[in-house]
Structures are given as structure tokens and as C-alpha cells.
Amino acid sequence: MRDYEKALDQRRAQQLYRQRRLLVSPQGPEVRIDGRSLIAFCSNDYLGLANHPALVETLRQEAERLGVGGGASHLVCGHHEEHHRLEEALAEFTGYPAVLLFSTGYMANLGVISALTERGDTVIEDRLNHASLIDGGLLSRAKLQRYAHADVEALSARLAAAEGEKLVVTDGVFSMDGDLAPLAGMASACRRHDALLIVDDAHGFGVIGHQGRGSVSRCDLGADEVPVVIGTLGKAFGTAGAFVAGSRSLIDYLIQSARPYIYTTAMPPVLAAVTRQSLRLIRDEEWRRERLRYLIRIFREEVQAIGFQLMPSETPIQPLLVGDSGRALALSQALEAQGLLVTAIRPPTVPTGTARLRVTLSAAHTDAHLEQLLAALKRVYRQQRVTQ
């Protein structure tokens, strides 16, 4: 039997041990966690909707009408009218013919990749894809291949040598780097090699593109170039769950074939009703994206002046590359001592030698919040230089 304590001790020695934090407040720019009040710069609540009064009120009112549980899977008796309405609203928002709801983004990615592949097929993925996409490829019956990050030429070479049906899978916005996939070049390569392009836009929807329609919209592409797009509802939408958008025949095929969809209890109908309210805010309140763009610009200008190594990102994900896991952890702890919650991201989440502080910005952050973060980063940077 494996010695779990030894394995845990090894993680601690390598500065890779991770702990859960106890949150006792709603999500927001200011949280109470582990008994302390902190300004949070680590949430994926990019538009500040997770505790929006309109969503809270919708939840309260609709819970009286709809209850609080999904009750059964969609194919038994769990597919509620509210699920149907949300799927229709998301199809209109994304510009795709049809949408299918999943309970989580992880399950959506596993379900789509496994349902659309058979033995002898090839799944080709970006090396920095989210773990759920990699796991989807590993658990499918297809051969999994990976190409150098955001390298269209490397992808094309993989496609030229691939056998069977070919699926190309990528994040739209990479969750740990914040950069965007080169979707136009990828779509062109997939067209030349008769491959199906799948984009997981978990960190793009709500944040970029026309009215927050995501990275596919930002690149002026659509369903013809990117036949399948996946989104999560627990980030910019501020609720929970996920969806897949595609053709009507593809969505119907997933209903028949995607095991994580078939064998999972449906999301609570009340949550679908709340998400429709969230979608209206995302579509109509452009000021939230304008606010994000402003915060991103100021943050990048000031942090570069301090001396931290920024990564190329125009999104709310702004990683500060540190390299060493112990150093990243020490910087995170130093910031927390000054009242700021900024997570140190370490292997295996990111490649060895690329540990970082993953700063995430929200439209709900005030100028004062940002000023406090920048002042603290300047202090810890100077302290670090003194001790080196």
C-alpha cells in the first residue's frame, strides 16, 4: 500500500503542498477567509457578479417557485423548462444553433472529447491546456498528441501526420498564463487538414469579444471556423455549471453519447434562472469590460515599472512569473501579511520552473484596491531584492 504520509512529506519539502482556505463571506473583492479580512486578487469572478444583488434576489424569488435541487439527470426527469430557456439564451448569445448544459466545466470537457472520438482517432492539444482538456484526451479512446504552446506550425505538423478523425482542442484564454490562443491560424490549419476545432472558452466568455461573447468573437470567427465551443458559468457569469455550443446535430449526438451528461443530476433549475439574469448583465453592461480594461492597463504599466516579470496577457489573468516555488509561496505569504490574497501557482498546475503569482482582476475592484496591491507589490519586490 502506498505510504501517503511519505508522499505528503515530499510535497511539503518541495514547496508543493496545497491547503484549502476557509471562506466565510460571499465571493467579492473583499472576503473573509481563515478568520481574516482580505482583498482578494485570485478569484475568477471577473465581472463581479458572484454576489450581485440582482442575482441574489433572483435566487431568493425563484427558489420559492422552483425549489433548490435538480432531482434527477436530464434524461430521466431533471430537464426543467428553466434549463431549456437558458440553453436557448446561450445559443443566441454565442451565435451557435444549439447549446447543451453540463453541471461543471470539467465534465463538459470530458464528455465532449470522449463522445466525439473513437479508437484510431487523434486528439491534438496545446501543451498548456487546462487539466480537464488533457484528461479528456487521456480518457478518450483516441491517441493524444500535444503541440508547443500556441504554435500553429507545430499544430500543422501534427495534423499532417495524424490518423483517423482529427480533433484539435485548445483553451481560448489560457487559465494560468492569461494569453489567447491563435484561433484564426488554428482554424485555417484545421480547415486544410479536415480537423474539428474545439475551443474551451472558460476564461473568455463575458470578458472579451463583442458583448462578452468570448475569444471566438474577438477573432471575428464563428461556428463555421470553430464548430464546438465550451464555456463555464462559474467564472465571469458568477454562478455555476457549464455549456457546450455547436450544431443541432452535434448537440443531439452529445445528449445520446456524452456519459458525464447522461449520468449526472441536472443543475438546480433555480441556478439556470439566475444564470439567465447574469447573462443579461453580461450582454448589456459594457462598462464592466471597460472597467476591466482600465484596471489591466494600469496594473501592467505599474508592475512593469516595479520590475516584476509580466506574462503577455490582455485579460484579467495577470501572472507575475517568479520561477521558484518556494519564492512564489513566500511572496504570496508576504502579500497576505499586508491584507492581500494572491495565490502562488506551482507545479504541477504549471510547468516546473514557472511558479508564479496569479493576479486576477475584477470589475468590482476599486481604484483603492488596486493602489493597495501595487504598493504591496512594490514593498515585497524591494524586500526580495535586499534578501537576494
- Integer Cα distance of 356 and 347 in angstroms: 10
Select from 314, 280, 319 the least CA-distant residue to 294: 314
The residue annotated as part of the active site, out of 103, 114, 175, 362, is 175
Q: Which grid cell sits at 263?
A: 449520468
175 annotated active-site: yes
Q: Which grid cell sits at 44?
A: 475568477
Distances in Å between the Cα of 237 and the Cα atoms of 50, 201, 274, 328 are: 7, 12, 10, 29
Task: Kindly state the helix (H) or strand (E) to which residue 302 belongs, with its residue range.
Answer: helix 286-306
Q: Which grid cell sits at 271?
A: 441556478
Residues 6+ apart with CB under 8 A from 121: 140, 141, 142, 143, 163, 164, 165, 166, 167
Residue type, 39: I
- Integer Cα distance of 253 and 98 in angstroms: 12
Select from 234, 316, 315, 216 the least CA-distant residue to 278: 234
The residue annotated as part of the active site, out of 203, 278, 365, 369, is 203
203 annotated active-site: yes
- Integer Cα distance of 152 and 166 in angstroms: 15
Q: Which H, E and C letters describe 321-365, residue by residue? A: EEECHHHHHHHHHHHHHCCEECEEECCCCCCCCCEEEEEECCCCC
Query: Is the bond preceding 348 in cis, omega lying within 30 degrees of 0?
Result: yes
Distances in Å between the Cα of 136 and the Cα atoms of 58, 110, 128, 129, 195 are: 34, 4, 14, 11, 17
The residue annotated as part of the active site, out of 83, 166, 235, 365, is 235
Select from 218, 238, 115, 220 the least CA-distant residue to 169: 115
Distances in Å between the Cα of 87 and the Cα atoms of 22, 61, 67, 84, 214 are: 33, 21, 20, 5, 17
Q: Which grid cell sits at 1?
A: 500500500
Q: Are the C-beta atoms of 232 and 207 separated by less than 8 Å?
A: no
Which residues carry out catalysis?
Answer: 175, 203, 235
